[in-house]
Amino acid sequence: MKKNEAVESEAVGCRKCEPTAYSLQPTASVYRALTIAGSDSGGGAGIEADLKTFTVLGVHGMAALTAVTAQNTVAVTGVVDLPPAFVAEQIRAVADDIGVDAAKTGMLSNAGIVEAVADAIRAHGIQQLVVDPVMIAKSGDALLRADARAALSEMLLPLALIVTPNIPEAEILAGIHIVTPDDILEAAKRIQALGPRYVLIKGGHLEEEIARDYFFDGFAMRTFDAPRIDTKNTHGTGCTYSAAITACLARGYDVPDAIQRAKEYLTEAIRLSYPLGHGHGPLNHAWPLEW
């Protein structure tokens, strides 16, 4: 079988983004996006990356904090989880007063937090939910306990509009080893069977010349391509990607368009990243801004 035989539709290439494409234009509406995730003290991932992305892409960002990490570009040296009831209280506070056009989840840490978040999402009728099933930090440190993986699959994925695992996360969720495009298609089918409407498997861990992501809508696989950039400054890539998708959904784009625009924003943020610290440096979230 040829390498891409499992991919049924034509790939979508990444065009270079113009800064003005992401400038906030005057509008009568204020778009509202909520991140439910952990804090990265190094500022490269987690809610810090999400809120930067929301702001640059023209949405009002809100946050429900799930955990606090002591983290830098090299390692996660400590984690303190917040009480599940307080996580839910944060979601309730913003949903009741401000409202939520789209939301995303990131680091959820334990089964109690996953359950509390799922209950809150359901109670407040949040329809446009992006689930980034964060399990491992860029440094290799675990961010989701083993007992929470089943809770994520059983309680949260059925509420998701789209789930955005990378290859290792997709292997865990689908229960298979991924090597070929056929494996990716099978994994996407298995993950969709858990409840999300759409599945986006990020291909950054694959040894390919391009950065290719695989989008499954229940009928066919579509790919989103971008140049693979040779840099170690990729801390927070997954958080930023899912936050950009969330922002675009909040602004009214449909799912494929949201992915395409998010992919373009992410690619430039990686290309223009900077070398902070002694490990994996952060992305340049603010690249579209003109000073």
Residue of 202, 240, 246, 281 with catalytic role:
202
Tell me the chain's radius of gyration from C-alpha atoms.
18
What is the spatial distance between Cα 27 and Cα 30, in angstroms, rounded to a whole number? 7
What is the spatial distance between Cα 104 and Cα 63, in angstroms, rounded to a whole number? 10
φ/ψ of residue 100, rounded to 5: -135, 120
Asked whether the beta carbons of 279 and 73 are under 8 A apart, the reply is: yes
Active-site residue 202, yes or no?
yes
Asked whether the beta carbons of 178 and 167 are under 8 A apart, the reply is: yes
Active-site residue 42, yes or no?
no
Active-site residue 17, yes or no?
no
Residue of 138, 239, 248, 267 with catalytic role:
239
Residue of 238, 240, 246, 248 with catalytic role:
238
What is the spatial distance between Cα 280 and Cα 260, in angstroms, rounded to a whole number? 25
User: Of 155, 81, 169, nearest to 114 (Cα)?
Assistant: 155
Q: What 3-state DSSP class applies to 53?
A: helix
φ/ψ of residue 56, rounded to 5: -65, -35
Neighbours of 196 (CB within 10 A): 24
Active-site residue 237, yes or no?
yes
What is the spatial distance between Cα 29 and Cα 148, in angstroms, rounded to a whole number? 37
Asked whether the beta carbons of 32 and 97 are under 8 A apart, the reply is: no
Q: How many residues does the chain have?
A: 291
Active-site residue 234, yes or no?
yes
Residue of 105, 164, 237, 267 with catalytic role:
237
Residue of 73, 105, 223, 234 with catalytic role:
234
| Catalytic (active-site) positions | 202, 234, 236-239
